Amino acid sequence: MYHFLINPNSSSGKGIRYWQIIEKELEVQNISYTADFTQYEGHATELAEEICRKYKGIKNIVVLGGDGTLNEVINGIDNYDEVFLGYIPSGSSNDLARSLKISKKPLKALSNVLKPNKFTYLDYGEITYHKKEAKSRKFICSSGTGYDASVCVEVQSSELKKKLNRFGAGKFVYLALAIKQLFKVDFLNSTILIDGIKKDHFKNVLLISGMIHPFEGGGLMMAPGADPRDGKLNVCLVHGMPQAIVMLLLPTIIFGKHIKLKTVKYFKCSSIEIISDREAAIHTDGETPAFSSHISIRCIPKKIRMIL
Ligand SMILES: Nc1ncnc2c1ncn2[C@@H]1O[C@H](COP(=O)(O)OP(=O)(O)OP(=O)(O)O)[C@@H](O)[C@H]1O
């Protein structure tokens, strides 16, 4: 049995168009399935929880949507040992599909889910952010604080994503708003604790990202060489960069060359705690659950059994 979770509005309606194609194919192949449509933010988490409650034992959960929907689904799965996770990308940025080389053609992605070549155990990340109380959220690709999270906040409230999606160019919204945000960069002073042992302090921090996969923001290669099966976070910390030079950072991130810059600290670890001198936006897979000055990010190794 396959349980499809579909965000019909992903990439401004691509989700529903893809589902119509998939549904026909499932009928042709006489596949038994359930299909649930997300209707609002957080709904995919509730639907995944419901499937896990209702269908005990091994099951296939197939997500049709973007990275945000996938993020919500992994936050709703309680027992990863019982789930094979399939993915049919229909989002604007599709950073997970880019990393795992999952086809963006719906029928090809479906055929892979129905006749998997293999499955792989993927790491996922968890961010804990402290406000009045501590809250945690899992992520599949990337999470962090600072400039890139501020870009995500603007993407969430922007009409530009919808407009660009109409031309199939939704992934460029991150790039466009990243350029706009460059003009109002607000730096942080942050103390970091790596793996609970190594303490360091950085002034004028632009961003700190904890990455499981190489990409965020629709193909920006924040963590070149990141391996989602190595049980490690790849941390990218940009600091002490004059505002005028920040402009030049973006083109280097597109090609993953930023890690060679003196102002970029790039390393692997299992966990990182970050305490900053003020609250800043945080992001998980492009969604922005909160503002916080105290966050911890860790890698949970090889938990997600992903159909490839
Ligand atoms: N029916 C719906 N209408 C509007 N928003 C929805 C609906 N269902 C889910 N959402 C919200 O939309 C968010 C983004 O969706 P999703 O990630 O699938 O597409 P996307 O934003 O186009 O792609 P990407 O995340 O790859 O950029 C989800 O995290 C969820 O909060």
| Residue 288 to residue 143: CA distance in whole angstroms | 9
Q: What's the pLDDT at 183?
A: 82
Q: Is residue 280 part of a domain?
A: yes
C-beta of residue 254 within 8 angstroms of C-beta of residue 178: no
Do 131 and 254 lie in a common domain?
yes
Q: Is residue 217 part of a domain?
A: yes
Q: Is residue 179 part of a domain?
A: yes
Q: Is residue 235 part of a domain?
A: yes
Do 56 and 143 lie in a common domain?
no
Q: By residue range, what is the domain housing residue 108?
A: 2-117
Q: Is residue 296 part of a domain?
A: yes
Q: What's the pLDDT at 169?
A: 74
CATH number of 102's domain:
3.40.50.10330
Atom of ligand 1 nearest to the CA of 15: 18
Within 6 A (CB) of ligand 1 lie 7-11, 38-41, 43, 65-69, 72, 91-94, 286-287
Q: What's the pLDDT at 185?
A: 86
C-beta of residue 307 within 8 angstroms of C-beta of residue 111: no
Last residue of a domain, one of 77, 95, 117: 117
Task: Show the DSSP H helices in the chain as ranges.
Answer: 14-28, 43-54, 67-74, 95-100, 106-114, 147-156, 160-166, 172-181, 243-254
C-alpha to C-alpha distances, 86 to 3, 40, 212, 270, 306, nearest whole angstrom: 10, 21, 18, 26, 6
User: What is the CA(268)–ligand 1 centre distance, in A?
Assistant: 30
C-beta of residue 63 within 8 angstroms of C-beta of residue 89: no
Ligand 1, pocket-test mutation among 10, 87, 94, most atoms within 8 A of CB: 10
Q: Is residue 49 part of a domain?
A: yes
Q: What's the pLDDT at 166?
A: 76
Q: What's the pLDDT at 242?
A: 87
Do 34 and 175 lie in a common domain?
no
Q: Is residue 30 part of a domain?
A: yes
Per-residue pLDDT tens digits for 85-96: 999 999 988 999
The ipTM estimated for the assembled molecules is 0.95
Last residue of a domain, one of 82, 117, 152: 117
CATH number of 242's domain:
2.60.200.40
Q: Is residue 307 part of a domain?
A: no
Do 54 and 15 lie in a common domain?
yes
Give the count of domains, the chain.
Answer: 2
Do 147 and 244 lie in a common domain?
yes
Last residue of a domain, one of 117, 143, 176: 117
Do 187 and 233 lie in a common domain?
yes
Region label for 237, one of left (φ > 0), alpha (ψ between -120 and 50) or beta (otherwise): beta
Do 161 and 27 lie in a common domain?
no
Residues of the chain with pLDDT under 50: none
**Of 199, 268, 285, 200, which Cα lies nearest the Cα of 233?**
268
